[in-house]
């Protein structure tokens, strides 16, 4: 019997089969979870590309709900959670795996970020966690879990991550405040901070190949992590095994985040 047999949840943020949200979903499905999913609304309903791309992944694992959702619109979130309550009654977990910044704002200097670009990026990358938690609280079972995806750039400066780092810092702080407020209801809120993985979002970050090489050289494990490792950890954090864990930023990065300077062997090879 899997750890999620009888458990039900909602997944926000699968873009394709390289998404971290999909890696976590895959592990949840293997453990018996029943899930509902959202995708970005298709601009042309006659050619539902986003829906088809998502269904190709989730229909084979028995998706109970597949709906369009623009998480920056309250009415879309209201519709999704109303349908989730109708489909599942109560749920046990929610995965938030969404982030966005206009490409020009992301690649440019933080000093030059526009007011509109900042507001849009913060809305989708950080505020949506609050908006989702507000609605999820009403249908989450005691012992339920909300998990958000973050990155080390929210804790310290990662050149090239720029505006998204500021958004992740806001997301992480929001997660901690939500953990405090929802804790008395038995609801846990955590964030998973993964090392660099090849995803659609990562393609917008400059110098990604160099970043992976840096992690291979600096992290205690001397390698990059895999989608499967991150997926298993996400599943673990939302499981009852982690019933006493909330308000945590849980790193899956080979230990890179603990290093304040290059390891000795890296320093010696550079001399």
- Angle at the Cα of 97 from the Cα atoms of 95 and 100, rounded to 5 degrees: 155
Backbone angles phi, psi at 120, to 5 degrees: -65, -45
Catalytic residues: 151, 161
What is the distance between the alpha carbons of residues 32 and 16, in angstroms, rounded to a whole number?
Answer: 21
Listing DSSP states for 93-129 in one string gives EEEE------HHHHHS-GGG--HHHHHHHHIIIIIHH
Structure tokens at 9: 């949840």
Helices (H), the chain: 20-30, 49-58, 74-88, 103-107, 115-122, 128-136, 162-182, 208-218, 227-238, 264-270
Other CB atoms within 10 Å distance of the CB of residue 6? 10
What is the distance between the alpha carbons of residues 189 and 148, in angstroms, rounded to a whole number?
Answer: 8
What is the distance between the alpha carbons of residues 82 and 139, in angstroms, rounded to a whole number?
Answer: 10
- Cα(first)–Cα(last) distance of the chain, in Å? 54
Residue among 164, 149, 139 nearest 231 (CA): 149
What is the distance between the alpha carbons of residues 93 and 70, in angstroms, rounded to a whole number?
Answer: 20
């Amino acid at each position: 019997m899997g750890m999620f047999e009888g458990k039900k949840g909602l997944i926000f943020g699968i873009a394709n089969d390289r998404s971290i949200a999909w890696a976590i979903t895959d592990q949840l499905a293997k453990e018996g979870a029943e899930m509902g999913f959202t995708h970005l609304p298709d601009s042309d309903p006659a050619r539902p590309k986003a829906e088809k791309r998502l269904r190709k992944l989730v229909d084979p694992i028995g998706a109970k709900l597949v709906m369009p959702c623009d998480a920056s619109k309250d009415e879309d979130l209201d519709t999704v959670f109303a349908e989730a309550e109708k489909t599942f009654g109560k749920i046990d977990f929610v995965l938030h795996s969404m982030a966005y910044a206009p490409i020009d704002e992301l690649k440019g200097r933080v000093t030059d970020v526009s007011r509109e670009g900042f507001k849009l990026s913060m809305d989708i990358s950080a505020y949506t966690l609050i908006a989702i938690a507000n609605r999820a609280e009403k249908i989450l079972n005691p012992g339920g879990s909300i998990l958000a995806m973050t990155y080390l750039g929210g804790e310290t400066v990662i050149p090239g991550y720029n505006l998204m780092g500021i958004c992740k810092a806001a997301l992480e702080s929001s997660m901690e405040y939500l953990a405090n407020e929802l804790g008395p209801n038995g609801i846990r809120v955590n964030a998973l901070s993964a090392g660099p993985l090849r995803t659609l979002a990562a393609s917008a970050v400059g110098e990604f190949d160099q970043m992976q090489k840096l992690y291979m050289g600096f992290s205690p494990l001397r390698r990059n992590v895999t989608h499967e490792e991150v997926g298993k950890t996400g599943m673990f954090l939302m499981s009852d095994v982690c019933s006493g864990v909330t308000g945590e930023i849980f790193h899956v990065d080979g230990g890179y985040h603990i290093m304040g300077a290059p390891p000795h062997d890296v320093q010696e090879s550079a001399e």
